Amino acid sequence: MTKFSELKLHPKVLQAVEEAGYTEPTPIQSGAIPFACEGRDILGIAQTGTGKTASFTLPIITLLNRGRARARMPRSLVLAPTRELAAQVAENFDTYSKYTKLTKALLIGGVSFKEQDQLIDRGVDVLIATPGRLLDHFERGKLLLTGVQILVVDEADRMLDMGFIPDIERIFSLTPFTRQTLFFSATMAPEIERITNTFLSNPKRVEVSRQATASDTIVQNLYQIPSAPRDTQAKQKRAFLRKILEQEGSGLSNGIIFCNRKIDVDILAKYLKTHGYVAEAIHGDLEQAVRTKTLDGFREGKIRLLIASDVAARGLDIPSVSHVFNFDVPSHAEDYIHRIGRTGRAGRMGKAIMIATPKDDKLLEAIQKLIGTEIPLTNFPVEIKRTPIQPIKVNPIKSIKVSEPIPKTVQLKPKSIKPATMVKKGYNKELITSDENFDMPSFIKLSFESRKKD
Ligand code: AMP
């Protein structure tokens, strides 16, 4: 088994690692660190939770330990797709560099330019940034990238999803050709492959299998609920989720609930709060200060449920989350792996529960293909009661027009119907209410099957 002491790291880094309590390097660390310390480019194919942040942070500290930064010319640059992830890299850097004199600055949106400018003016060894913010600083003439010796691109596949690839290419071209590049992505989409072929020079490829990390310590469950029209479906899912939460009981110490849309994150957080849960929303439209406060509250155990969008939650390092819920089946199969990777970390057991409807069949198939296994289908924890359909009180209509030939069924909006008055002379009337949802039908079917005999 490899030891940290065999990875060519600086003794001051080793001391900090020991104090962090790590006994042995993770596979991405033992695979990437020695090569990175030798100055090689790295292509790391690994997701969060594998220890990849340390696999680039530790070599950077080792390599930059000698020498000093010049004003406005950072010596290394780490690009991360989200503010949270960038902030997390910065925290990692503080932990591992505590016995060195290296300096860092964090360039993320939501923080004043003035403060960030002052740090850069003084000179920093490590600049950690989101691509947009970095280019803002560059364009204001506050920053020179010609001193960058090491460039890290973290979570490149997420950068691609977020449309950052042109920014990344531009940043690559602003840094010296002779730089060392450490490039990380959970997957190798063709566009990512193209970039690595263009900008990396004979990289050491280190791939960490994701299936093993996803399935070993995570128990996965799937609940299927029937289809319903959109509004009703969301309502139904919320009620259903609450039943699952109740069922999980005290085993649910803390959990992250993922929704596909920011608006649903907000609605669900509000809903759970009104039902007595300590829950908060986190997504990209919230102010940075709010997001930081929420995350701190969640880490400290003050908030039990975090309702999140993918972008906001990507790469969050929150130790020991007992549950991950997929309120929506993710539209990209890779996101399923990222989402459930929030639980079952560091050898602990975790539970990943997903709610799906028949409309999600295709997405579900893609996920199961990607993870190479079928997610076990679980029976409903509780029976979903079908609320009887209330008679609808509306203006009666005397008759409805049905064109010839007489169709078998006609669909009408409930508001234009009063059951008892729907008669087309010569035909029986029979109401068949839509069976597709539990609360309110969005339409009612009239059937004209049997002709009245005179
Ligand atoms: P990452 O993949 O960088 O997000 O790291 C996931 C988690 O693993 C973080 O909480 C790290 O602090 C932790 N970690 C990183 N390296 C090790 C290690 N060698 N042993 C134990 N935990 C580690």
Output the pLDDT for position 186. 87
| Best probe residue, ligand 1, of 53, 55, 84, 91 (max atoms within 8 Å of C-beta) | 53
Residue 286, by phi and psi: left (phi above 0), alpha (psi -120 to 50) or beta? Answer: beta
| Residue 231 clears pLDDT 70, i.e. is over it | yes
β-bridge pairing 444-447 and 430-433:
antiparallel
d(C-alpha 219, C-alpha 349), whole Å:
8
pLDDT digits (tens, 9 = 90+) for 315-331: 566 666 899 999 999 99
Output the pLDDT for position 130. 95
pTM of the model: 0.59
| Residue 352 clears pLDDT 70, i.e. is over it | yes
Evaluate: CB of 30 within 6 angstroms of ligand 1.
Answer: no
d(C-alpha 342, C-alpha 315), whole Å:
8
- In this structure, of 134-138, 151-155, 374-378, the range with the lowest mean pLDDT score is 374-378
Evaluate: CB of 57 within 6 angstroms of ligand 1.
Answer: no
The domains found in the chain, sorted by start residue, are 4-207 (3.40.50.300), 218-371 (3.40.50.300), 419-453 (no CATH)
DSSP for 136-190?
HHHHTT----TT--EEEE--HHHHHHTT-HHHHHHHHHHS-TT-EEEEEESS--H
Which one is predicted more confidently, 297 or 218?
297
pLDDT digits (tens, 9 = 90+) for 191-218: 899 999 999 999 999 988 654 345 567 8
Instruction: Name, in order, each residue with C-beta under 8 angstroms of 199's C-beta and a sequence gap of 6 or more.
Output: 169, 172, 181, 183
Evaluate: CB of 52 within 6 angstroms of ligand 1.
Answer: yes
Tokens of 69: 């930064």
Which one is predicted more confidently, 290 or 152?
152
d(C-alpha 359, C-alpha 346), whole Å:
35
Residue 48, by phi and psi: left (phi above 0), alpha (psi -120 to 50) or beta? Answer: beta
The Cα angle at residue 41 between residues 63 and 154, in degrees rounded to 5? 85
Angle between helices 11-19 and 52-64 (to 10 degrees): 150
d(C-alpha 362, C-alpha 330), whole Å:
11
